[in-house]
Amino acid sequence: MTSFESTDVLVIGSGFGGAIAAYHLAAGGARVVVLERGPWLEGEDFDHDFKLGSSYTRIFDFVVGDGMSVLGGNCVGGGSVVYFAAMPRAPRFVFERKGGIGRRMWPKALSRDALEPWYDRVAEAMPVTGQDWDDVTYAGGLWAALCARSGHTANPVPVAVDNGKCTNCNWMMAGCRFDAKRSLLTNYLPAALAHGAQIRPLHEVQHISRTDDGGYRVHYNVIDDEDYRVHTGGGTIDAKIVVLAAGAGATPVILQRSEPSLGKMPHAVGRYFSGNGERLNTAVIDEDRVREVLGLERDGGLAYAANQIGRGPVVANWDRLDGSLPEHSRFSLEQLYFPPGLGTILAQAPDATGPTWFGVEKKEMLKRWQSWLTIFIMSEDDNEGVFGPPPATGNAMRISQQMLGRGNLRYHPTANTLRGWTEADDLVRDIIERDGVGRVRPWTNDVVGAYTVHPLASCRIGDDPATSALDDRHELRGHPGIFVTDGSAVPGALTVNPAMTIAALAERAMPGIVRAARERGVPVEYGAPSPDGATSARRAAAPLVAGLVQGRRAG
């Protein structure tokens, strides 16, 4: 069955970029429809297992490309449902990066100072809080002790977690059963619904075309609840404003597929993809040396053996987030729990004499999984990723009924990116292997290439039309009324977890989108408080709003 309808604003995706847009525009009086490719799960729907068909496989999208694989959210709430809720702000030097193009990547209008009030708005809405050492898990405490012993600092990571509700179950990636993780299901999305926004799960957008009145028509398929390869219907929705927030692995694919009907896309659509410079190392910890060298132990006479206890990243080493260092030598090292699955498959055995990620030595390593410590590297890559021709439908060719697909992303690391990874690997090894506390090796790239859980930059903002798909107000060049507010708009790697920056950029984009909607006849106002009614951060950002709602730049 095919349906036809219209609305003021059509939002594609319900992650950070989509949820924030839906809330502000609905609260301002616009009719808003949100189309989300994945299912709608909440609280008690999230399973504590990894069976096929459980929440874990239903709410993830794992796309294998050529040299890079992308793991992202596929559900109402998007990446916020499956992320570990780490919410640091990007370092100041990030906004001055030049990258492989040899000139400033970010728009001149954007700096850390310029984004600070919008960071504050997000922190008020989620809310984001600092942690103290009493909140740190066993794995985080071990990483902190290792950093201190090797002469490095360790920092509790700011998080969007209600520690009073958290049970330290460490199932955050499968969705939070206890609503302790402040995903978008607990703030922006319910607030958008309260203001009349409609959220439609299992609606996969295929392409966008123009209408005779200068608006846009969004074409979608309805996806089967159990087998995402099956389409049960479809339709179109006309809108005066379209906000793309399908994620950096899907937004460019939708735009590429839309080119025959919309007209030529900016050169940067589907180019300059960044994996946030991400890489993982897994160490096997020597329990006796933890006790002897670090003096650590926990209940039951154990020294550590706590890889699975707690929650995601709680402690990071930020010593290399130093703007005086050369580009591609700056990175963060974050303790991370990665649940069974890719974490066990891709980890390499430190003492292997044959194959490193399978075989006898790997089997022995798996027996000691409770004594693992995984370190997450976020560095500066060279925006090497390029999306090839789009698949017939969706963002990838689905291989299984849920989760797994084969995509058209090509990513071949440059010497700059490889050098950054090597420097980070060396520092991880120095910290962990000192005094024989553990043995460490990076995850293999032989199976699925490099990998990222934070895809960025495939439709990025910027001042140069040749290297940016969007202007500094997130409008798609040459296609007025289409905006992009997800991670694909971020110009490049951030060296920290990107959720806070994606959300702050989306908040900053809202005044300009409201202005564009008003110019197209939508009766909408800007100025909604935080989803819970707080207004202090809104007042602080008020002086910036006037400049953002002035006439949009051409380009």
Domain limits, the chain: 5-549
C-beta separation of 335 from 375 below 8 A: yes
118 pLDDT band (50/70/90 cuts)?
very high
Distance (Å) of CA 260 to CA 253, 254, 485, 543: 13, 12, 23, 41
Quote the strand ranges of 419-472, DSSP E: 438-442, 450-452
For the ranges 15-19, 322-326, 338-342, the lowest mean pLDDT is seen at 338-342
Q: Is 151 helix (H, G, I), strand (E, B) or coil?
A: coil
For the ranges 27-41, 64-78, 304-318, 333-347, the lowest mean pLDDT is seen at 333-347
Residue 534 has a pLDDT of 62
Q: How far apart are the first and last CA of the chain?
A: 39
Report the alpha-carbon distance of residue 462 to residue 313 in Å, rounded: 31
pLDDT at 1 exceeding the cut of 50: no
Mean pLDDT computed over 413-442:
97
pLDDT higher for 74 or 311?
Answer: 74
Residue 354 has a pLDDT of 84
C-beta separation of 340 from 505 below 8 A: no
pLDDT at 431 exceeding the cut of 90: yes
Mean pLDDT computed over 514-534:
92
Residue 437 has a pLDDT of 97
Return the CATH fold of 5-549. FAD/NAD(P)-binding domain (3.50.50)
Q: Is 533 helix (H, G, I), strand (E, B) or coil?
A: coil
**Contact partners, residue 532, CB within 8 Å, separation at least 6:** 125, 187, 191
Instruction: Kindly report the pTM of this predicted structure.
Output: 0.95
pLDDT at 110 exceeding the cut of 60: yes
Instruction: Name the residue with tokens 């987030």.
Output: 321
Mean pLDDT computed over 32-55:
91
Residue 554 has a pLDDT of 34
CA-nearest of 529, 520, 531, 526 to 545 is 526
Residue 334 has a pLDDT of 98
Residue 301 has a pLDDT of 87
pLDDT at 23 exceeding the cut of 90: yes
pLDDT at 545 exceeding the cut of 60: no
For the chain, the average pLDDT equals: 93
Residue 103 has a pLDDT of 86
**Contact partners, residue 115, CB within 8 Å, separation at least 6:** 89, 90, 95, 501, 504, 505, 508
CA-only gyration radius of the chain, Å: 23
pLDDT higher for 459 or 533?
Answer: 459
Q: Is 254 helix (H, G, I), strand (E, B) or coil?
A: helix
CA-nearest of 132, 134, 129, 139 to 87 is 129
CA-nearest of 176, 200, 190 to 45 is 176
Q: Is 16 helix (H, G, I), strand (E, B) or coil?
A: helix
Residue 541 has a pLDDT of 59
Calculate what percentage of the chain has a pLDDT beyond 70.
95
